[in-house]
Structure 1
Amino acid sequence: MHRVGLLISDCFQVLGLSTLSIFEFANQVAGEPFYACTVYSEHGGAVKSSYGFGVDSQPLDAELAIDTWLVAGVLTPLELPATPGVVDFLQTHAGKARRIAGICTGAFVLGQAGLLDDRRATTHWMHALSLKSLNPSTRVEEDRIFIIDDRIWTSAGLTAGLDMALGMVEKDLGAEVARSVAHLLVMHHRRSGGQTQHSEMLMLSPRSDRLQSALEYARKNLSKPLTIEDIADAVHVSARQLSRLFRAETGKSPARAIEGLRLENARLLIEQSRLSMEVIARESGFRDRRHMREVFIRGYGIPPQSLRSGKV
């Protein structure tokens, strides 16, 4: 029996509770109660959630035998830091657990306990700079869904906690069980830890219809060479005017913006299909597999194959 403890505190983000559903359905798929989940807080009893309702919990105890600790976050981690009692418990007893994870801003609690020192970590992108400021020795990667550094796991905001929990199930019970759990929960697919938190189109945020049309044209024709002249002709402007639009509205050159779209397209194909890397490179408009790998490492910090293998 693998014991999972969800550690909550006053005003904990209510979506953190949903991570327990992953383990609930993993038991169903496995056909046996592999996981036993319990909610804990410093003193036990009812704990107020971010939505206002209370959730019953068990008190922390030095004798607890927990295999996986999940630490829920709060909406305002700078205003609601972990209590000294919680920090002391994690510092003293975290070493007994097989792994400990921060869900969203739960990473701040791990940081307070010194568990992120000299490690890689992530959190919700809105709070990444604050986490880095409070933990200068931590390599905070704000553009990751979740990160595994030895036995310390951290996830990005909110629903990314589900992806992290699925990653744990995959480690424990295998990829097929994890896929079945995702299917039962009607999750589109299990996002690997290396996946970006952002959508490239959303990040570019074109304000004008003309540039929006140009980006849509590029996105639908990524397998082609896509020169600036080709795109300009498609939206009926000059190449010079289109370059100015790109710079003014996205802060990027057309070439850099298109490279971002190619990169995102390749990432999605890797995660959602079984196409070969050669085919994915071609369909995304890279010269070859090697070129795609170079751009992937520059953009995401990991090789493309790691997304498919689950190595993060």
Structure 2
Amino acid sequence: MSISAAQVKQLREMTGAGMMDCKTALSETGGDMEAAVDWLRKKGISKAAKKSGRTAAEGLIGVAAEGADAVVVEINSETDFVARNDAFQELVRNVAGVALSTDGKVESVAAAAYPGGGKSVEDTIKDAIATIGENMTLRRSQKLSVEKGAVASYIHNAVADQLGKIGVLVSIETEGDAEAARNFGRQVAMHVAATGPMALTEAEIDPAAVAREKEIFSDQARQSGKPENIIEKMVEGRLRKFYEEVVLLKQAFVVNPDLTVEQALKEAEKEIGAPATVTGFVRFALGEGIEREENDFAAEVAAAAKS
């Protein structure tokens, strides 16, 4: 029978087991949710799941690059202490290397073979959870590729080679010198790490975000009491400023603030020896968007005293 993504998601939330294990359990039990839970328990897969309820917002960002391809991955742990562990760092570095041979999607990376162990990446992480004693998750992964040119990578706050707290990829398409393109791309990647742009171009910004900003600017402008035609021009001016702040190509380049990133690219074409285009970027900041648990230390002590 066909197992839906919703069923896999439900079983994963119930047990904390890995996605591939949940899919296998449901297939083996004909989609029966309770039987699938029992199947996972019998296989001992729930061993790591006991820790799955704990928030994993620390960890490391890892990057890997080869030729015209590069990937960035985020693997989370519960504490920064584990992120400083050599074994965990090797795990993240190897997973990034594995991701480079896939399409970069989390599902593909999780299912791919981990080097030297005869197991998948997902199973290897599960083993690490049981060994190290902390919840860990392969949270996200993304790959950038170009047909001709280069994909540059950059790690900010590096704790080891290709590992750190912020990871950035920047892809540049060009018929020119790939190494010169990569060097400039790394400067742009450093810029992205510092500024966190919302999009590459104006067209790529979420229309809802633009509408929200426009509404705010309009309300602010109307408070001036000026006529509507003047207000309209004020809003247009503020939107231009908004784009300059959040659109990568419109931002002032951190390496040379007298130029925008777009203008700096034109200057870089002299070294590259041909027209060049920034075709994409990815920025992963460790733990962004994860809702962290707020622990009440006094309550923990009180609870421990009662037990």
Larger Cα-atom Rg: 2
TM-score range, shorter chain: under 0.3
Structure with greater strand percent: 2
TM-score, normalised by the number of residues in structure 1: 0.26
TM-score (norm 2): 0.26
